[in-house]
Every structure is written in C-alpha cells, then in structure tokens.
Amino acid sequence: MTRLDLINKRLRKVGNMVNQTDPIPVKGFFQVGIDLGTANIVLIVVDETGEPLAAFMEWAEVVRDGIVLDYWGATQIVKKLQSKAEQRIGRKIEQAITSFPPGTDPMISENVIKNVGLKVQHVIDEPSSVIKLLNIDSGMVVDIGGGTTGIAMIRDGSIRKAYDEPTGGRHVTLTLSGNQKISFDEAEKRKTGPDAAQYKPVVEPVFQKMADIIRQQIDGQTDLDIYLSGGACCFPGFDEVLRREIARHRVIKPFNPLYLTPLAIASYGGV
C-alpha cells in the first residue's frame, strides 16, 4: 500500500466518523489537532499510529481571510468540539496541535487554543503539515479552503516556499449566488449538493483564477506532483479543470480533500 493509499483510507474513516458521538474508550496514546478554518473548525483525534479515533466539525464564520476575527466565537466552538471528543474517547484532552495559513501570525491560533485552556503542543503552517503527512520529498501541496488558497512547495526534502492568498470556496459560492440570483446559503447548499456538477460552467472562472495562483507559484518548474487539499477541491471536476489549466504536472486529488488538512494537523510529529 502506498502512503497515499493509507492516507486515503484514513480520510474515508474520518468522513464516516465525523460528528459521531458514540463512545470508543481510548486507553493508550492519543493526539489532537485543531484546524481553525475560515469555513470549518475541525478537531481530530488520532492514535499512536495516526489512525483516526474521533472527528468533530462545525461550520464557523469566525475567521476571515485566514485570520480569526471572532475570538469568543472560535473559543466557544473549540470548547464544544473538545467536550464532544472527550466524551467519545473517555479521556480528558489537555493539549492540541494547531495551525495557521502561511504568511499569517501563528499566535492568532495559539491564543484561541490557550483561551480554551489547552496547551499548544505544536503550531504548524497548514500546507506544510500536509507535506509531512503525505511524506512527500518533492512536490507541491495546494490547500483551497473556504477563504484561502495556501501553497507549500518541497524540493528534495526541504520546504522551499509557503504562500497564501485570499481566494477559496467562498468565492465559488458567491459566484454561484450572483449568477443564480439566490442567497449565499442556498448557493452553498447547491454547490455541495448531489447536483453540483451542473454549475461547473458557472463557477469555472473561479477555478481558473485558482489555477492562475498555482501557476504563478510553479514559476516555470517542470514535472511537479501537485497534491490537493481543502474542501473547495471537492467540487466535481475541479481537478479536471486544474489538469487542463496546468498541463505537464500531475494533479493528485486525495479521497476527500476536506479532511486532509485537519488530519495532517492532528498527525503532526510523526504518526
């Protein structure tokens, strides 16, 4: 089994267990990651081998352009997710790993975690955590979330570049809402619903903008493996648009990109 196969298996597991409260008492080592995203706050617990034990996610509008604006709101959500996870695993959570979009201040996330009363075990930039989880030696991770596109590049084992730009799934939703003359919430529902593919022509210009951002960061390099992360990459056919726009590079879409970054944060440090 390749590393990507293993991670895909874990992502499938996270997808099945997300917001599942049924208790699975944990006896041994566990590690917790908290992803404070512009769209979702996600808490994942993994065991010593990196297998997911618990996953809780809440839609949150406490972060804008990668920066936490509503500390109180963020703290309340993290507290709630923490308490659900504690009930599920039957253990008290005392510390967590958290993250920040490249180019922003890591203290912002750290402060939220500390506010909740947790110790900050590590704070890592989001696309770099994905590079570590996938164990990539050379390539690029593109994390397109709700509000931001984060990019990190690795060459021969060393991370060369981390970059962040405020374009994400939110812009896809805004475009759909404008085009269909529907509310943001209704557009969000349709974009993530079973008939989303029909809106591809409407939202494709946003995907092209994302491809432009990626192309700029590729900066003439050849033969890169580009790994996708983040919920915005879940849109049906998004990866095909990228493959067409960024020819000559391999675009790899994991099983469910929505959970890849939070899983990578939770797994940080070698599991």
Ligand X SMILES: Nc1ncnc2c1ncn2[C@@H]1O[C@H](COP(=O)(O)OP(=O)(O)OP(=O)(O)O)[C@@H](O)[C@H]1O
Q: In this chain, which stretch among 7-15, 191-199, 213-221, 244-252 interacts with ligand X, using CB under 6 A? A: 191-199
Sequence-distant (≥ 6) Cβ neighbours of residue 50 within 8 angstroms: 10, 267, 271
- Are residues 169 and 162 in contact, defined by beta-carbon separation less than 8 angstroms? no
Q: According to the binding rule CB under 6 A, does residue 37 interact with ligand X? A: yes
Distance separating alpha carbons of residues 44 and 133, to the nearest angstrom: 14
DSSP label at 18? B
Q: In this chain, which stretch among 8-16, 22-30, 189-197, 257-265 interacts with Mg ion, using CB under 5 A? A: 257-265
CB of 93 to ligand X, least distance (A): 21
Q: According to the binding rule CB under 6 A, does residue 52 interact with ligand X? A: no
Q: According to the binding rule CB under 6 A, does residue 33 interact with ligand X? A: no
Interface with ligand X in residues 85-144 (CB under 6 A): none
- Are residues 199 and 176 in contact, defined by beta-carbon separation less than 8 angstroms? yes
How is residue 196 written in tokens? 């989303």
- Are residues 16 and 263 in contact, defined by beta-carbon separation less than 8 angstroms? no
Pick the closer one to Mg ion by CB: 89 or 98: 98
CB of 227 to ligand X, least distance (A): 14
CB of 5 to Mg ion, least distance (A): 23
Pick the closer one to ligand X by CB: 38 or 175: 38
Q: Across the chain, how many H-helices and E-strands are there?
A: 9, 12
Pick the closer one to ligand X by CB: 15 or 26: 15
- For Mg ion, the nearest residue by Cβ is 145
Question: Closest Cα to residue 139, out of 6, 252, 2?
Answer: 252
CB of 73 to ligand X, least distance (A): 14
Pairing of strands 52-59, 250-252: unpaired
What is the contact surface with ligand X in residues (CB under 6 A)? 35, 37-40, 63, 66, 145-148, 168-170, 173, 188, 191-192, 196, 230-232, 234-235, 258
